[in-house]
Amino acid sequence: MNKIRWGIIGCGDVCEVKSGPGFYKADNSELTIVMRRDAEKAADFANRHNVPHSTNNADEIINHPNVDAVYIATPPSSHCEYALQVAKAGKPCYVEKPMAMNHRECTQMVDAFKTKNLPLYAAYYRRSLPRFVKVRELIQEGTIGAVTSAHIVHYGKLNKNPDNWRFDPAIAGAGQFMDLASHGLDILDFLISPITRVGGFSINTGGTYKAEDVTTAAFEFESGVLGTGCWNFNANHSANYITFTGSEGELHTPVFSDTDIILKHGGQEESISAPNPPHVHQPLIQSIVNELYGEGQCDSTGESGARTSWVMDQCLTSYYGER
């Protein structure tokens, strides 16, 4: 096998720049076929990205003889269904975040791929971005001493015309918390250690859609560090960041903004630049391709993705009930 040949189920907006080009720009990787329910839009994507084939049938992607691995980029409500089909077909799978509608579905997916001895990856691409690789390096080197606490924040203004599926719990699993907080919670798992205890609360303050719009949480990491978080999507301003406080300093990093890391140590403040690549999924895709070739290991697995879903479930139970 000269290259890992990919098929995409759901070549929508996320695939246009963030992920799609990564599959044909990564070393030893190519994009063979793409799928979208609208056949004309699938063909248009294929034409613009020089992909040989397109279809409106997901089964064709999953069972195509020239597809070695499948990327599922549909809304969360179909992640589990498609992933189980990919496992049955005996192929590795890369699934968009959040990994599924809830932790129970994630467990189903993980078990199905384990049974087949196949890899399952979750699209928490921040684990491979230069910014968070650098933050992890700074933490592990003891730049701020022993990390004692972490605080994550995401503020945004209320969406008063929510016609997007991301605001529909029946399709998205919840609201913006599932869509956006999942990235921050997963990167905390990567930077510190898995979260083992969490208490959280979600409410709806704006009344413009059915999903929650404010969530808060307190949590404990496996390593003993404590953390807090607030995701307020009915705020008067926008902000997103994580602050790591240590025994000898502080690290401040954006989660979504492509801005500098701020290191405070010894009475000094330093800005550290680590900009995003043009296609933010590409470094993680490269790590997947490398692992499939037996070289290296991808840090974003079905197991790590399931852990993030478990944390979110604990936060959302107060609003939705048992998930």
Is 62 exposed, middle or buried (CB count within 10 Å of its CB: 0-12, 13-18, 19+)? Answer: buried
Question: CA-to-CA distance for 183 and 98, rounded, in angstroms?
Answer: 8
H or E element, residue 73: none
Furthest-apart CA pair in the chain: how many Å?
60
Question: CA-to-CA distance for 180 and 40, rounded, in angstroms?
Answer: 30
pLDDT (tens digit, 9 = 90+) per residue, 214-242? 999 999 999 999 999 999 999 999 999 99
pLDDT (tens digit, 9 = 90+) per residue, 98-136? 999 999 999 999 999 999 999 999 999 999 999 999 999
Amino acid 1: pLDDT: 63
Question: CA-to-CA distance for 236 and 283, rounded, in angstroms?
Answer: 34
Phi, psi of 180 (to 5 degrees): -105, -45
Question: CA-to-CA distance for 302 and 198, rounded, in angstroms?
Answer: 20
Amino acid 126: pLDDT: 98
Ordered domains of the chain (ranges, CATH)? 4-125 (3.40.50.720), 127-279+308-320 (3.30.360.10)
pTM strictly above 0.85: yes
The residues facing 242 across adjacent strands are 152, 253
Supply 87's token pair. Answer: 């496992």
Say yes or no to pLDDT of 15 above 90.
yes
Question: CA-to-CA distance for 226 and 117, rounded, in angstroms?
Answer: 35
